[in-house]
Amino acid sequence: MKKILVVDDSALMRRVICDIINADSNFEAKDTCRDGLEAYERLKTTSYDGVVLDVNMPRMDGLQLLEKLQEERIRANVIMVSTLTTKDAEITMMALERGAIDFVTKPTNVIEAKGEAFGNQLLSVLSAVLKISPSARPTTTQRPAATRPNSVERTATQSQGTVKSSYSVMSTQKQKPANVTRLRATGKNKLVALACSTGGPKALQDVIPNLDANMDAPVVLVQHMPKGFTKSMADRLNEISKVHVKEAEDGEKLQKGWVYVAPGGKHIEVVKAPDGSHKIQFNDMPAIGGLKPCANIMYDSLSKTGYDEIVCVVLTGMGADGTNGILSLVQHKPIHVIAQNEETCVVYGMPKAIADSGVVDDVVPLKEVAKTIIKSVGVN
């Protein structure tokens, strides 16, 4: 049983979070603290498998606690609980730089806090980060983990007509190797399409800042995050990177050396413009398997683009989002697939799914991802 420390200045939230944790037989809310200072004193003498940490607290907030833990080299698996305000989103991004592994969004009221959505989200992230296998999840007599369908049918009306695709978004089943003939790139016009989920915001800080400012391709990026957090993440990455990083806007033209982050709450597609350039197009269809943005939609759209080769990058994350989109794309376009290795993943789900599919060209540690991307696309 994994022992969890809950840190929040609200007695009600502490009780609700403890109830959620204790309803899962894999976890025990072992202790609670009212602020970061109390948690700091506790963590100096006691080890926990995980820490659920609020952002805003008196005496010492979540960010200050992480800084103290970092300074004194006190190890802790920290999950932040953050509201959807711009300020908290910015602090959460800084928290990820200072050692937090991931975050969940904090409910705005008691009803939401006691609702199934928040409980499922918290337990899913704890399970993924603390390596609880799906088979070890609670029975139906307990609070269930987040349930997402293994496959969904999505219908999107586009200019060419109505397209139907079946996506195994969250399936953890091993994919069959893709039995397709790989197409060869005939030109140098390339695009990088990157997907990540749990552990992704932290992982991206080891990838995007290390890309060359003159890289000879644009980057489109899907990170599973709520609305508001994606802009804060993009802005923070832009501050620390040589390439330009921004939250994508509907209709904007793709430029080499730029990274376009899919906004939370919007699917993105890449479409070819009449003049031969390419632009971002928002797709406002419903969430797929609980995901919006969904990487499969991004990859699926690339089959009709004018790029000579697509460099597909899959980093840490739960489930299998991206795999079916890439397996569809390989039948229409030359692709080069880079997957993060298991040892450096917070959650070896999405990279494992694409690795099992048989189309991966490079499996590399996180710190080698940026170099491998540049090797694939070159610089101008």
Q: Which amino acid is at 106?
A: K
Q: Of these residues, 88, 168, 224, 278, which one is catalytic?
A: 224
- H/E element holding 191? strand 190-196
Closest C-alpha to 27, from 116, 165, 122, 150: 122
Describe the crossing of helices 36-45 and 62-71 by its angle, rounded to 10 degrees.
30
The Cα–Cα gap between 380 and 162 comes to 38
Q: Which amino acid is at 244?
A: H
Q: Of these residues, 54, 88, 300, 321, which one is catalytic?
A: 321
Six-digit token string for 214:
């003159």
Active site includes 321?
Answer: yes
Six-digit token string for 369:
């991802």
Active site includes 235?
Answer: no
Closest C-alpha to 285, from 302, 297, 295: 297
Residue count of the chain, please give it: 380
Q: Of these residues, 127, 197, 241, 301, which one is catalytic?
A: 197
Active site includes 224?
Answer: yes
The Cα–Cα gap between 138 and 270 comes to 40
Closest C-alpha to 63, from 50, 76, 54, 52: 54
- H/E element holding 278? strand 278-283
Between CA 313 and CA 365, with CA 298 as vertex, the angle to 5 degrees is: 10
The Cα–Cα gap between 185 and 310 comes to 9
Provide the annotated active-site residues.
197, 224, 321
